Structure 1
Amino acid sequence: MFTSWLRSSSVSPVLSTSCLGSHLSRWPNPAIRVAFIGVHAATADEVRRHLFPLQWDHGQLSCVDLGNLRKTTTEFAIPLLRELHEAGIVPVLLGGVGTAIPQAQYLAFGSLHRRINLLQVDQQLALSPTTSGLQVLDAAVHRTDAPAYHLSHIGSQRQMVDPALDALIQRRYFERYTLGEARAQPGDLEPCIRDADVALIDIASVLHAEAPAQRGYHPSGLSLQEAGQLCYYAGNSDRLASFGVYGLELGTEQATTAERLTAAAYAQLVWYFLHGLSRRAGDFPATTEGMTEYVVDAKLPQRMTFWRSPRSNRWWIQVPGVTELSGEMRNYLVACSYQDYLQTGQEGKLPERIVRAFSRY
C-alpha cells in the first residue's frame, strides 16, 4: 500500500519476546494504531537499534515499522502522512536535520482539518519574525490560506531567540514556555500539550550532555527525563495525531559514541510517547460521553463552563459562544487543570493561558 513511498529498514534484531521489537505487527493490519517511519535512513536505523530492545510495556498497542522514506521532500511525504491520518494511524517520524519533513508532518494533517494546534519542543523558536523564510515553523505560521494554526512552544532559551518574535507571539496569542518555566513545573505543561494535534520534538531541546551529537554547542536544556515526561503527555492525549523527533543526522560511516548515545535518547523519547499512547483514556475529543459539567458564575462577566472526564480526571473549559455547530468539536473545549477551575471559581479570575486561548476565537 505504501511501497511507492518507503523502502524497508535494514534493522532486524533478534530479540526476546519481552522487547518492543518483538511486538511489531505485520502490515496490513486493521488494528494498527502507530507507524514508525524513518526520514534519514542511517539515523532512523540507529534509533531502531536502541528502540527495539527496550522492554514492552504498552499493553495491546499495535505498532508497525513501515521503513524509511525514499525521498525526503515535503511534497513527497505529505500524501503518505495524509493517508495514515485518514486511516486513524499515528505516524512516529524518526527524523534528521532540515525543514522539509517537519513541514510535511503538519501540512499533511492540516490538509484534513480547518484548524491545527502545533507543538514544538526546541531550544530555539524556529520561526521568522515577519514573512515566511527557511525556518521550520514558517510554513505554518506565515501561510495566508486555510487552515489556520495555533503554536505552542516549549523549551526556548532567551539567548537563542530573536527578540522580534515577542511581538508576533503576543499578536497571535501563541503559547511560549521558556526552558526555565518548563523545568520549574513540567507537570503544568500537560494542558498545553493536550491541546496539540501535531508534535515536533527537536533533540536539541535536551541537555547536550545527554544528547551530545545534536547541532551546535549549547549546554543547557531539558533533562532527558523531563523531555520524556513531555512525550508521555503528548502520547496520552487523545487529540494528538502526529509525532516526530528531529535534530540528529548520521553519516554513512559507523556511528560514533556520541551519535549512538543521541540515537538512544531518541529511542527513549519515542518509548515514553508510546507509553502514554497505550494508556489513553478515550476522552475528549474522542468522546464527551460521561463527562461532568461544572458551571462557574462568580465575579465574571459571563458564566464559565468546565468539563471533567471521570476516566482520566482531566479538565477542559468551554470557549464562550463556540458550540459544536460553529466549529470542529475538538476546538471548542480548551484543555486546563483542576487548579484553573479552582482559581476561576474562588478568585473570579481566568488564568492567563485561558484568556489568551479565548482571544484566538
Structure 2
Amino acid sequence: MNFNFLSPVSDLVLAHNELLPTQALGRKLKIHSAQNGIPDLEGVNIAILGVLENRNDVNYIGETFQLNEIRKSLYGLFPGSWNTAVADLGDINKGETVEDTYFALKEAIAILVKQKITPLIIGGSQDLTYANYRAYDALVPMVNIVNVDCKFDLGDSAKPIKNNSFVGKIILDEPYNLFNYATIGYQTYFNSQEEIDLMDRLYFESYRLGDVANDIKIVEPALRDAHIVSIDLSAVQASALSLNQKYSPNGLNGKEICAIARYAGISNKVSSFGIYEYKPSKDDEVTSMLIAQMIWYFIEGYNFRVKDDDFSNENNYQKFITLVDEQELIFYKSAKTGRWWIEIPFLSEVNNKLKRHTLLPCMHQDYLDACNNKVPERWYKAFQKNCV
C-alpha cells in the first residue's frame, strides 16, 4: 500500500508513550514510527490520520500546528474491553498547494475505505471534508454527510473553496454524489436567513442546538444514515475548550459532543469520521483531552456495532404499517437492537436517485407520530429529494 506521503508520529510522542502503563491505549495501537515505518494494517478496523492543512481557513495568517498534544492525551487513556484494532498512521503534511493535500487525503481515505478500514481524521480546517467526500466518487453512488457545526458552511460556491463554504462546493461540483446533508447543533444567529431557506429548499436536515441539547437522541438516526461525519470544534461551547479554540459561549457541551461521536461509531454506515478546526494554544490540555475523548467514544461505539439492518429474514424484525393522509407508511423495528426504520417508496415514474425501496433510519417517536396522522419530517424530506 502506497502511503509514502505520510510522516510518522513524532519521536517525542513515542518517547512519552513508552512511559505509559502497559494497559494504556497508546501501548495497544499500531503506530507509524520513523524507526519501524508504516505498520501492517491486517486486521485493523480504524486508522487515525492527522492532516496538517489549514491554508483554506478564512482566518489563516501563516500559522502552523501539530497534533502531538492530542496524541499524548489519546495514548494516555485506557481502552474499554474492545475487539477493535486501531492504527495511528501519522500525518499528511501540507502539500505544495492545498489541492496536493486534498489529493493525498482523498487517496488515503479511498485506500482505507476499500479495505474496510475506517479513517479517523484529525484536521486543520474543515474544508478537508471536501477531499473526504471526493474519496467516495468511486466507492458509493450516493453519499450522506453529517456536519456537526454551529454553521451550515454553504457559503458562496462561486468563490474559491474555504472552510466556511466547502458545502456549497460539495453540492455544486460534479460528479453530483451528495444525497443527504445534515447539520447538527447549528445556531440560528450564525446563519443567514438565505442559507436557512436554502437548506429547506434542498430538503437537507438541520438540528438546532436547543433541540439537540433538549434530547441528544434525536440525532442518532441521521448519524446511523451517514457515510461521512465531520465535526467542527466551533460547535462546542467555549467553556469546554482552551484559549485559542474558544468560539461561542453557546454550543454543545463535552458530554453531548462525545455522545455524538459514540453514535457515529455505532452506525454501521459511517465509514469515515473527522474532527476539524483544531487550533493549539499554550494552555492546550483541555482541547486535546476533549478530542482524545471524542476519539475514544467513536472507537467505543465502533466496538458495539451490531448488524441489525438485514430485513431479508423476517425473524430479525417486526413490521408496522400506518396510514397518514392516505399515504401508507411502513416501519421496521429490529429485534436485535430495537432501532427503527421507515421505508421510502420507489417511484417508478420519476427519475429518482434511489433505484429500489430504501429504508431510512428513524425513531420510535416517528412511528408514534405517524399513528397520530403526522408525517415524519425525515421521511418527508427523503421522499421529496427522490421526486426531484
TM-score by length of 2: 0.84
Deviation of the 1:5 alpha carbon: 2.1
Structure 1 residues 341 and 308, CA gap change in structure 2 (3 angstroms): same
Please name the residue that 1:5 is paired with: 5
Contact 1:141/1:149 (8 A) holds in 2: no
Aligned residue for 1:335, secondary structure, equals strand
Please name the residue that 1:17 is paired with: 22
Please name the residue that 2:242 is paired with: 212
Deviation of the 1:50 alpha carbon: 0.4
1:168-317 to structure 2, matched below 5 A, reads 168-215=198-245, 217-250=247-280, 256-257=282-283, 259-284=284-309, 289=313, 290-317=315-342
- Between 139-148 and 13-22, the greater mean CA deviation after superposition: 139-148
Contact 2:245/2:279 (8 A) holds in 1: no
Which residue of the other structure, out of 155, 163, 170, is the alignment partner of 1:128? 155
Query: How many residues end up aligned between the 2 structures?
Result: 351
Which residue of the other structure, out of 371, 374, 380, is the alignment partner of 1:349? 374
Contact 2:239/2:246 (8 A) holds in 1: no
Structure 1 residues 319 and 299, CA gap change in structure 2 (3 angstroms): closer
Distance 1:157 1:86 in 2: 36
TM-score by length of 1: 0.90
Distance 2:27 2:5 in 1: 24
Deviation of the 1:188 alpha carbon: 1.4
Contact 2:143/2:178 (8 A) holds in 1: yes
Please name the residue that 2:364 is paired with: 338
Deviation of the 1:300 alpha carbon: 4.1
Deviation of the 1:244 alpha carbon: 0.5
Q: Which runs of 5+ in 1 are unaligned?
A: none
Deviation of the 1:121 alpha carbon: 0.6
Which residue of the other structure, out of 54, 67, 71, is the alignment partner of 2:90? 67
Distance 1:299 1:192 in 2: 22
Structure 1 residues 227 and 276, CA gap change in structure 2 (3 angstroms): same
Q: Show CA shifts across 1:129-182 (max 9, x none).
A: 664653232221222433133110011111111221122111110001111111
Which residue of the other structure, out of 125, 128, 133, is the alignment partner of 1:106? 133
1:81 paired with 2:109, answer yes
Distance 2:106 2:312 in 1: 31
Aligned residue for 2:193, secondary structure, equals coil
Please name the residue that 2:58 is paired with: none
- Between 239-248 and 68-77, the greater mean CA deviation after superposition: 68-77
Contact 1:306/1:317 (8 A) holds in 2: yes
| Equivalent position amino acid for 1:296 in 2 | I
Structure 1 residues 98 and 25, CA gap change in structure 2 (3 angstroms): closer
1:33 paired with 2:45, answer yes
| Equivalent position amino acid for 1:248 in 2 | Y
Contact 1:120/1:199 (8 A) holds in 2: yes
Distance 1:43 1:51 in 2: 14
Structure 1 residues 305 and 242, CA gap change in structure 2 (3 angstroms): same
Please name the residue that 1:139 is paired with: 169
Contact 1:43/1:248 (8 A) holds in 2: no
Contact 1:293/1:305 (8 A) holds in 2: no
Contact 1:21/1:52 (8 A) holds in 2: yes
Deviation of the 1:283 alpha carbon: 2.3
Structure 1 residues 244 and 213, CA gap change in structure 2 (3 angstroms): farther
Contact 1:121/1:155 (8 A) holds in 2: yes
| Equivalent position amino acid for 1:338 in 2 | H
Please name the residue that 2:66 is paired with: 43
Q: Show CA shifts across 1:256-291 (max 9, x none).
A: 11x222111111111111111110112227x75553
Distance 2:138 2:68 in 1: 29
Distance 2:149 2:178 in 1: 22
Distance 1:118 1:187 in 2: 18
Deviation of the 1:327 alpha carbon: 4.0
Please name the residue that 2:59 is paired with: none
| Equivalent position amino acid for 1:229 in 2 | A
Contact 1:114/1:146 (8 A) holds in 2: no
Contact 2:237/2:252 (8 A) holds in 1: yes
Aligned residue for 2:83, secondary structure, equals coil
| Equivalent position amino acid for 1:316 in 2 | W
Aligned residue for 2:30, secondary structure, equals coil
Contact 1:81/1:91 (8 A) holds in 2: yes
Which residue of the other structure, out of 72, 87, 95, is the alignment partner of 2:123? 95
Contact 2:144/2:228 (8 A) holds in 1: yes
